[in-house]
Amino acid sequence: MPGGGDRFPTTHFSVVRGASSDRPEERARSLEAIVAAYWRPVYKLVRLRFGRPPEDAEDLTQAFFTRALEKDFFAGFDPVKGRFRTYLRTCVDRFVANEDKAATRLKRGGGATTETCDFASAEAEIAVAGAAARDRSPEELFDAEWVRSLFALAVESLRAACASAGKEQHFELFRRYDLEDAGEGKVTYDDLAREFGTTPSLVTNHLAWTRREFRRILLDTLRQVTSSDEEFRLEARLLLGTAPADPSSHG
């Protein structure tokens, strides 16, 4: 996914609120950020829930976001009534149903989404996930893809942040240990120290710093696609997998 690193501003600006701004440029910028976070869940929902072939799903995904900008879909979002994620999914459901009724063939369009959406990679993920993805309920599927999207954006933002701070080695350690090895234990801190010509204690410190940054960036990204502190907190539980459905066994 290209460009994630600079798509999200570093301030705590809420793109959800910005999407209904009176200023067209702010609205467009906010929509672009929403597309970055949501195009993948929307595409997979259209593909797997509505059973659309890839080309139709691409068209519908792009048309949805284009129409959202034109028709100001997100201005109708009321944070008191629920979460933005749920609202957006409902908008997608309604949009696809209306397209079905109109029986219109959507034209493939440029618009804001063309450069952002790497549909081929989403399609590859569907192929890898196979039946497991198809067996999920639409809500589970959408939520899981939303989580995946935010993590992917956060990794890209981390890469950009490390590059601009001159900490490329920090990111490389993170990439080798947490992205490539992903906790499988094939790579140790000693291996990395040898590989990068440093000491295991520096690997420990650099990884700790990078992980702290990763958490901060991930939560910043989430904060921008939520509209209130409460929504932010509740969505963080879903994002981090700490929802109370898994009750504490201690404490």
Partner 1 sequence: MDDERLAHLRAVADLPDLTGTRYRLIRRLGSGGMATVYLVEDTALRREAALKVLSDPDPSGDLAARLVEEARLLAGLEHPNLAPVHDVGTLPDGRVFYVMKYVRGARLDEWIATGPDRPALLRLFIKVCDAVSFAHAHGVVHRDLKPQNIMVGEFGEALVLDWGVTKVLGRLDPPAVGMPVGRRPGTADGSIVGTPAWMAPEQARGDLAAIDSRTDVYALGAILYFLLGRRPPFPPGTGEESLRKVLESDPASLRSIDPSIPRQLQAIAAKAMAKHSADRYPAVGDLSADVLRFLDGLAVEAYPESIFERAGRLFARTRTLAALIAAYTLMRLLILWLTGR
- Binding to partner 1 by CB under 8 A, coded x per residue (else -) over 99-138, reads --------------------------x--xx---------
222 in Cβ contact with 14 (< 8 Å): no
Residues 5-44 binding partner 1 (CB under 8 A) are: 12
DSSP H or E run through 28: helix 24-44
Count H helices, E strands: the chain? 12, 0
Name residues contacting partner 1, limited to 127-186 (CB under 8 A). 128-129, 147-148, 151-152, 155, 178-179, 182-183
Only one of the segments 42-50, 52-60, 103-111, 226-234 lies at the binding site for partner 1 (rule: CB under 8 A); that segment is: 226-234
Instruction: Kindly state the tokens that stand for 55.
Output: 């080309």
Least Å from the CB of residue 179 to partner 1: 6
Helix 84-102 / helix 138-164 crossing angle, nearest 10 deg: 120
Q: Which of residues 187-206 bind partner 1 (CB under 8 A)?
A: 204-205
Give yes or no for residue 248 binding partner 1 (CB under 8 A). yes
Q: Which one of 16-24, 29-37, 69-77, 216-224 is the stretch in contact with partner 1 (CB under 8 A)?
A: 216-224
Length of the chain: 251
Task: Give the span between the Cα atoms of 214 and 189, in whole angstroms.
Answer: 19
Contact status, residue 238 vs residue 143, Cβ threshold 8 Å? yes
Task: Compute the distance between CA of residue 15 and CA of residue 202 in angstroms, rounded to an integer.
Answer: 37
Token duo for residue 20: 């209904």
Tell me which stretch binds partner 1 (CB under 8 A): 22-30, 97-105, 108-116, 213-221: 213-221
The amino acid at 232: F
* Interface residue list for partner 1 (CB under 8 A): 12, 125, 128-129, 147-148, 151-152, 155, 178-179, 182-183, 204-205, 208, 211-212, 214-215, 218-219, 222-223, 229-230, 232-233, 236-237, 239-244, 246-251
